[in-house]
């Protein structure tokens, strides 16, 4: 079956990248590197590979040097890895990049986020062909392992001399699709805390009424945590201005403990996945948790599997010239955008952490949100339209003085 998109060179490149199964676990990044090198050659631009943390975790960077290379550079970031698939739930094989009669391209990574990585390259290809040159150097960056937290990828890279040598001034990175005409734009992320309450108590026979049992203390902690959760649920429900990224989310994710049915156990462990809203004071929040542990009767240890520091949001006002240039461009294109806090985590948090402004934006509107879902797809027209958007956005930020 042939259709009007199949002969489009950019659609071909996109589908070629989608066919690389860079899927967790144990991703083999070599085919990605090979493909990205072929793209660099096609663009007649140099590519470098870095290994900031591990010999199997490469970062590939294609660089287009600016007329004023002393100016801080522009980073166009994307991750090469994709999340696992449950192939039996797909109507098209997840790594064949089938295109149907409506132009829907089915593949893992079609939305998250091989689309964006290839749209950067497609826009650069078009701009270069048109003879443009920009003041700032542009680095198109391909990173590993974002989907497993970026610990051996961007997380480490931002602290290396090789990253500092890029002299980055601003970064674009992923957003998510918008189901209606609005394009979500992300300027911040919440801080992820995975909190374990290790609750000790009096042990004994299940027929008695001991004092200070682990169960009573667990009950107290649960009440406090779920009251806080309820408070955030109501705050979100009662204010249409807020999105999920604006509130603190709290979920009980693990419960462990118990010995046998007639023994009052010495220990219960409760784990909560907490995503702390950007306006919450971390020290006050932790002190509150400690206070509840004391009020519950003591003997409770707090442990953290993950405890992210607060990262300053990227400014979305006149103090950030990159934001001003971004906003002016999308407004001129007539795109409806909505700035918000990203509900999950992306590599932008590491970039913001070292003081570089970062905007999360995937140019996909009127598109069902299918990242990490079965039958992930992106329409060819949406993809091509996104290239046109980057053809305006990249010059806007790369030509700033
Ligand atoms: Zn992603």
Position 3 scores a pLDDT of 81
How far does residue 344's CA lie from ligand 1's centre (Å)? 10
CA 371 to ligand 1 centroid distance, Å: 8
Position 333 pLDDT exceeds 70: yes
Output the 3-class SS for the chain: CCCCCCCCHHHHHHHHHHCCCCECCCCCCHHHHHHHHHHHHHHCCCEEEECCCCCCCCEEEEEECCCCCCCCEEEEEEECCECCCCHHHCCCCCCCCEECCCCEEECCCCCCCHHHHHHHHHHHHHHHHCCCCCCCCEEEEEECCHHHCCCCCHHHHCCCHHHHCCCEEEEEECCCCCCCCCEEEEEEECEEEEEEEEEECCCEECCCCCCCCHHHHHHHHHHHHHHHHHHHHHHHHHCCCCCHHHCCEEEEEEEEECCCCCEECCEEEEEEEEEECCCCCHHHHHHHHHHHHHHCCCCEEEEEEEECCCCCCCCCCCCCHHHHHHHHHHHHCCCCEEEEEECCCCCHHHHHHCCCCEEECCCCCCCCCCCCCCCCEEEHHHHHHHHHHHHHHHHHHHCCC
Residue with tokens 């797809």: 377
Per-residue model confidence as pLDDT tens digits over 234-291: 999 999 999 999 999 999 999 999 999 999 999 999 999 999 999 999 999 999 999 9
How big is the CA angle at 132 (ends 129 and 138), to the nearest 5 degrees?
100
Note the pTM of the prediction, 2 decimals.
Answer: 0.92
Give pLDDT tens digits for 102-122: 999 999 999 999 999 999 999
Q: Which residues pair with 205 in a beta bridge?
A: 263
Rounded to the nearest angstrom, the distance between the alpha carbon of 83 and the centre of ligand 1 is 9
Task: Please give the Cα distance from 295 to 197 (Å, whole number).
Answer: 14
Active site residue 81: yes
What the block records as the tokens of 362 is: 């995937």
Distance from C-alpha of 269 to C-alpha of 267, rounded to nearest angstrom: 7
Topology of the domain comprising 9-175+346-398: Aminopeptidase (3.40.630)
Question: What average pLDDT does the chain have?
Answer: 97
Mean pLDDT over residues 142-148, rounded? 97
Q: Would you call 87 a catalytic residue per the annotation?
A: no
Q: From ligand 1's centre to the CA of 189, what distance in Å?
A: 14
Architecture, CATH, for domain 191-307: 2-Layer Sandwich (3.30)
Distance 147 CA to ligand 1 centre (A): 6
Taking only the tens place, the pLDDT of each residue in 375-399 is 999 999 999 999 999 999 999 999 9
| pLDDT value, residue 237 | 98
The pLDDT tens digits of the residues spanning 43-100 come to 999 999 999 999 999 999 999 999 999 999 999 999 999 999 999 999 999 999 999 9
Omega before 25 cis (within 30°)? yes
Where are the domains positioned within the chain?
A: 9-175+346-398, 191-307
- What is the pLDDT at residue 2? 62
Residue 319: pLDDT over 90: yes
Output Rg (C-alpha) for the chain, integer angstroms.
24
Position 1 pLDDT exceeds 70: no
| Active-site residue, selected from the candidate residues 145, 146, 189, 246 | 146
Name the catalytic one among 81, 145, 174, 347. 81
- Closest alpha carbon to 63 in 150, 132, 112, 121: 121
The answer to whether domain 9-175+346-398 and domain 191-307 are alike in fold is: no
CA atoms within 13 A on the CB side of 118: 26
CA of 81 to the centre of ligand 1 (A): 8
Task: Say whether pLDDT at 13 is over 70.
Answer: yes
Q: What is the pLDDT of residue 390?
A: 98
Neighbours of 205 (CB within 10 A): 9
């Amino acid at each position: 079956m042939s259709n009007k998109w199949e002969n489009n060179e950019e659609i071909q490149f996109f589908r070629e990248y989608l066919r690389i199964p860079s899927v967790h676990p144990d991703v083999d990044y070599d085919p990605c590197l090979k493909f990205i090198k072929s793209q660099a050659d096609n663009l007649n631009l140099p590519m470098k590979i870095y290994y900031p943390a591990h010999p199997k975790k490469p970062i590939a960077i294609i660089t287009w040097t600016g007329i004023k290379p002393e100016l801080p550079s522009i980073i166009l970031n994307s991750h090469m890895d994709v999340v696992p698939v449950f192939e039996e739930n797909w109507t098209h094989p997840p790594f064949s990049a089938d295109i149907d009669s409506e132009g829907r391209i089915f593949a893992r990574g079609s939305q998250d986020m091989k689309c964006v990585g290839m749209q950067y390259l497609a826009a650069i290809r078009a701009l270069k062909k048109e003879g443009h040159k920009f003041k700032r150097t542009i680095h198109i960056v391909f990173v590993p392992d974002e989907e497993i937290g970026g610990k051996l990828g961007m997380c480490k890279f931002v602290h290396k001399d090789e990253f500092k040598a890029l002299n980055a001034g601003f970064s674009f990175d992923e957003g998510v699709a918008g189901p209606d005409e609005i394009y979500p734009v992300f300027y911040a992320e919440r801080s992820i805390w995975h909190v374990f309450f290790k609750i000790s108590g009096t042990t004994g026979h299940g027929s008695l009424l001991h004092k200070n049992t682990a169960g009573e203390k667990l009950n107290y902690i649960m009440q406090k945590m779920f009251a806080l959760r309820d408070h955030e649920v109501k705050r979100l429900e009662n204010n249409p201005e807020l999105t999920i990224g604006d509130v603190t989310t709290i979920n009980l994710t693990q419960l462990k403990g118990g010995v046998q049915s007639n023994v009052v156990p010495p220990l219960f462990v409760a784990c909560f996945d907490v995503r702390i809203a950007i306006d919450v004071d971390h020290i006050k929040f932790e002190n509150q948790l400690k206070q509840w542990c004391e009020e519950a009767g003591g003997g409770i240890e707090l442990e953290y599997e993950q405890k992210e520091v607060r990262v300053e949001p990227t400014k979305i006002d006149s103090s950030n010239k990159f934001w001003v240039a971004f906003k002016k461009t999308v407004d001129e294109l007539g795109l409806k955008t909505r700035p918000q806090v990203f509900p999950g985590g992306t590599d932008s948090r590491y970039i913001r952490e070292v003081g570089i402004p970062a905007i999360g934006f995937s140019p996909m509107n009127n598109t069902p949100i299918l990242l990490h879902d079965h039958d992930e797809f992106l329409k060819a027209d949406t993809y091509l339209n996104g290239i046109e958007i980057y053809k305006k956005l990249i010059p806007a930020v790369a030509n700033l003085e």
